[in-house]
Structures are given as C-alpha cells and as structure tokens.
Structure 1
C-alpha cells in the first residue's frame, strides 16, 4: 500500500518506496489551488477520487472529474486552475517518463477506491500502462518538443546561439519555443531550474545549497517561486 498521508488543505508530498514511482503528493480540501504554469521532468498521473481538478494546457481547459485519471507527460506545460466548491481528494504520482505515454491522456478509472490509502503502487502502474496502450502515433514532420527542451536546459549558451543551431533568428526561435513549449525560452529555463531544485531537495541537500546550485539569487527567491509553482515551500517539501 502507499504510505499513509496526513490529509490537510494543502499539498502533502511524500517520497515513494517503489522504484517505478519517483514521488507522491496528495490533496484534500475545498476545491484545489491555482498555481503558476510549470512542467515536470517526470510524467504526472493525476488521480481524482472526489471533486475535480482543472488545468490549462495548450490553450484549452482540461477537467479531470472524480473517478478519472489524467496523464500529463514529462515536459508538458500545464497550469493548475482553482476549482472552488466541493471537497476535492486527489493523488499525484510522478513516474519516470519512460513509464507513461508522451501525450495527454484522461481515462476513466471508476470508483474503485474510497480513500488514497487504498491505492497501491500496482494500481498506479496499471494506470500508467493503460495510458501507454492508448499512445497515438506521432505525426510526420512534427517538431520534437523534447529536443527543444533539452537544448534550452542542457546548454549554457545564450538564447541567440541556441536559436542559430536551429537555423532560426532569436525572434523566430522565441516564437517557436512559445508555440511548442508554451512559454518564452528564459521562462522555460527558470522552470527547469525549479525542477532541478526539486530533485536536489529529494536527495536531501540543504535548502540554501539547493538555491545556490539551482541558480537562484538566495533561499527566499527559491522559496517564493517554489511555493507559487508547486503549492508548498522547499522547507515543507524537504522535511517530507
């Protein structure tokens, strides 16, 4: 079974003991939080037991009602939207990108579970496999979003030089990145640094060191952006 969560009106993160799951996060509260646009290095399975979740993805609103699971692929920009009203109970499972499909998927999982504590790693694996079985073929000539993301995060070169490697002007490259990744190149790099901070915190690195290693000006700078993006502070995340 999954480690028992203390359910509060906040995102509650836990490390996973299963090799196929990187991390778990639970929410129980009136509606759910609105957060800044972001992406993850892992694929995110959003499993809603009651209430609903809503996201802004590729210019459209995607709603995940109770009894459904959404698979948000690694690297996909998404904006969690506030869903005021009825109590929402949700489990996020972050799994390696190779364990799930590379396109957005929403599937009906029914009402098999009454609480998050009844959901096992095996259940999460079944959901990931279900999304993989529905993976569509990639259209010919489609720009590889992963290649763009890799170029922006693994290179320390200025944006203009990266643009030239794609055969684009700086302005043309910025338009392409906005179209394919949803944000400007510099914003994408900032979100990648936040994901790096998350990895370092999971590894147990002190918060001040994480802020420096991930390229933030200081701990308070990291804390402010981390809270608005992931719904918790680095201190709370690190302790969990």
Structure 2
C-alpha cells in the first residue's frame, strides 16, 4: 500500500522524518512567497518539488527559478542561496535523500502531476523523481571531485585555517582565495556551514539542543539558534520537534 506524508501546513518550514532509510527528512512550505536564506549546502541531495508559486535559488552567480509543476535536484555539497519570491501562494516540498549516487550539477524537470497538497505525494513518487533526475545527471567532473577534497580538508581537521593551508603547501591568503573560488565562501564560513549540518544530524539522532550546540562547536544554544534560523529558515527547537 502506498503511504502518504502528513504535514501541518503553515507559513513556515515544517520538517518531518520520513521513517525510511532512503529519505533522510522532509520539509514543507505553504505561504505567501518563500523565504530568502543565507547561502548553505547539505550533506544530502535536496529534491525541491514546487506545487504552486515558484522557488528561486542563487547558485554559482546565477539565479535558477523552479516554477510550479517542476522539480529541481540540488546536489549534496552544492552552495545555494534560496531567494525570496513574490507574494503569490507557494506550496513546496523538500526531500533530502542520501547522496549514494554522485551528481555534479543542478537539474530542473517537469514532474507532470497536478498535486494540490504535499500530503498527496508518496515517498515512492519522491524517490522515483529523484532517481529519474540522477539517472540523467552527468558524471562528476574532476573539478567537483577537487572541491569535495578541499571541503574534506577543512572539515576533517580541527587545526587552524593557517595550518590546513600549510599542510597543502599554501599560504593562508592563497588558500583562502582558492577556497572562495572553488567553494564559494571563505574557509571559516565553510566550516560554519559544515557545523550547522552536523547540528541537523545530531538533532535527528535525538540529542537535546544544548548538547547539539556544544557538540557541533557553537558557543551556546542561542548562538546555534540564531545561525540555524538564518540559514535553514526555522529554529532548532522547531526543526526536529515530533
């Protein structure tokens, strides 16, 4: 029997678990327009399904718009900034799926369905759309692989930025320029975004917010909450509340 998704539809992002291993989490939005948020990335592929209105993202200096009736897949690790959209009603479902299949570029496709509500969309249909987009995606380029290694160098070490730069045979200034060019943000900003993604993982695992803040390297819970809201459009307390 095909299952459906249940959401409380409010003028804010509402996150829910999918209770499946092949969908990490789901988020729904229904309201006037949609939020503009800070540039960020995810550790998972993000599938954006727009039922009405539109969503727009700033990616690599370009504005990408996803109109109603279309889906976009934003690859794991791709820096993107959701942009505010006009005040027409927007209904959107985000599905975050494991990055088990490599993808290096954003793609927008029509999903050829006339859903009115996100709870009409089954997990099976979400995975079918994601799989279809991923099957059309080109293999990751050498440049994308290099960017992944650069990101790993920044996040897998707690050493100061200067020390990471030195380990790669670069000056701090030269390393910072390379990171900005390849990853789109300064080294410190990239590390901060990685810590925010870690905070999401820890919350999904059931850690209390205060423990999440400490374990993810934030000075306190209010520091995490402020940055989390600016980046993901909701607070940690609302994000993973059952």
Q: TM-score, normalised by structure 1?
A: 0.95
- The aligned runs of 1:2-17 (5 Å cut-off) are 2-17=4-19
Q: Secondary structure at the match of 1:33?
A: coil
Q: Secondary structure at the match of 2:36?
A: coil
Q: Secondary structure at the match of 1:239?
A: coil
- Specify the alignment match of 1:90 in structure 2: 92
**How far apart are the structure 2 equivalents of 1:220 and 1:186?**
20
Q: Secondary structure at the match of 1:8?
A: coil
| Cα deviation digits, residues 102-141 of structure 1 (max 9, x gap) | 3211111123422211111111111111122212244456
- Say what the alpha-carbon RMSD is for the aligned residues: 1.5
Determine which of 38, 41, 50 is the counterpart of 1:39: 41
Q: Indicate the larger mover: 20-29 or 204-213.
A: 204-213
Q: Using a 3 Å threshold, how does the CA distance of structure 1 residues 3 and 143 change in structure 2: closer, same or farther? A: closer
- Specify the alignment match of 2:103 in structure 1: 101
Q: TM-score, normalised by structure 2?
A: 0.94
| Cα deviation digits, residues 205-231 of structure 1 (max 9, x gap) | 111111111111111111111111111
Contact 1:11 / 1:26 at 8 angstroms: preserved in 2? yes
Contact 1:73 / 1:104 at 8 angstroms: preserved in 2? yes
Matched residue count = 240
**How far apart are the structure 2 equivalents of 1:139 and 1:25?**
30
**How far apart are the structure 1 equivalents of 2:203 and 2:209?**
7
Segments ≥4 residues shifted beyond 3 Å: 137-143
Q: Using a 3 Å threshold, how does the CA distance of structure 1 residues 145 and 224 change in structure 2: closer, same or farther? A: same
**How far apart are the structure 2 equivalents of 1:93 and 1:142?**
23
Q: Which runs of 5+ in 2 are unaligned?
A: none
Q: Which runs of 5+ in 1 are unaligned?
A: none
